[in-house]
């Protein structure tokens, strides 16, 4: 921009010298473009992210939020939903009513994020384990079948052992969906005839007769 203004000024001076008459259009252009050369909108008096500050004692421009304040949209009073706990105790119930849509979503998310280690059945022999990664415990052992659903939510959120936190990759709704699918996997591997609905029992009996 400054080069253009300088060029306009040189042309204006040359024409004034040659003709002796002012070139008003050049002067008008000059005064029109001069304000555009200001950098106030580009170089504002503000701190940029992680910039050093000599004003604060700790020399950090980024300040810690005031204790007790909560960002808009981040109020999480429902600890059952956001932490898998009530009164600091792991919950045994889901914070929502389960349905086929949630289970299907849980299966999809489980196969993406969990199956590489836990495999698609939950036995703990996923592909990365076959490549040498430490094997996680099977989800079908008594300890994990009897663990509260809040335990799984806490592990997905905060990590456990060699498993890192998945809170950045998996939103809260998807964590609960995954846990619902884990419960379905556990039931599928440990179900008895008493767990089968009556109408399905009739189908099983009929299939035995066919065989």
Encode pLDDT of 144-171 as tens digits: 999 999 999 999 999 999 999 999 999 9
With 80 as the cut, is the pLDDT of residue 2 above it?
no
Tokens 């698609």 locate to 120
d(CA 129, CA 114): 12
Q: Which pTM was predicted?
A: 0.67
Residue 86, phi then psi, degrees to nearest 5: -135, 125
At residue 34 the predicted structure's pLDDT band, cuts being 50, 70 and 90, is: low
At residue 23 the predicted structure's pLDDT band, cuts being 50, 70 and 90, is: low
With 70 as the cut, is the pLDDT of residue 25 above it?
no
Note the pLDDT of residue 9.
Answer: 53
d(CA 53, CA 64): 14
Note the pLDDT of residue 202.
Answer: 80
DSSP letter at 127 equals: H
For residues 22-42, average pLDDT: 60
With 70 as the cut, is the pLDDT of residue 199 above it?
yes
Strand partners, 85: 90
DSSP-based three-state secondary structure for 95: coil
């Amino acid at each position: 921009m400054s080069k253009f203004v300088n060029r306009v000024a040189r042309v204006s001076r040359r024409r004034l010298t040659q003709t002796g008459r002012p070139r008003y259009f050049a002067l008008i252009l000059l005064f029109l473009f001069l304000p555009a050369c200001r950098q106030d909108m580009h170089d504002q008096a503000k701190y940029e992210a992680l910039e050093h500050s000599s004003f604060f004692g700790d020399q950090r421009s980024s300040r810690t939020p005031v204790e007790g304040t909560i960002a808009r949209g981040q109020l999480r009073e429902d600890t059952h939903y956001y932490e898998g706990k009530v009164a600091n105790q792991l919950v045994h119930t889901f914070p929502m009513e389960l349905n086929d849509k949630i289970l299907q979503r849980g299966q999809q998310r489980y196969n993406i994020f969990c199956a590489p280690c836990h495999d698609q059945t939950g036995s703990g022999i996923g592909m990365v384990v076959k490549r040498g990664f430490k094997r996680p415990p099977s989800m079908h052992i008594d300890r994990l079948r009897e663990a509260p659903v809040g335990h799984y939510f806490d592990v997905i959120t905060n990590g456990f052992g060699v498993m890192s936190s998945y809170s950045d990759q998996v939103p809260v709704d998807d964590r609960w969906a995954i846990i619902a699918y884990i419960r379905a996997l556990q039931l599928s591997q440990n179900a008895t005839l008493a767990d089968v609905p009556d109408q399905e029992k009739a189908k099983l009996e009929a299939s035995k007769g066919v065989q």
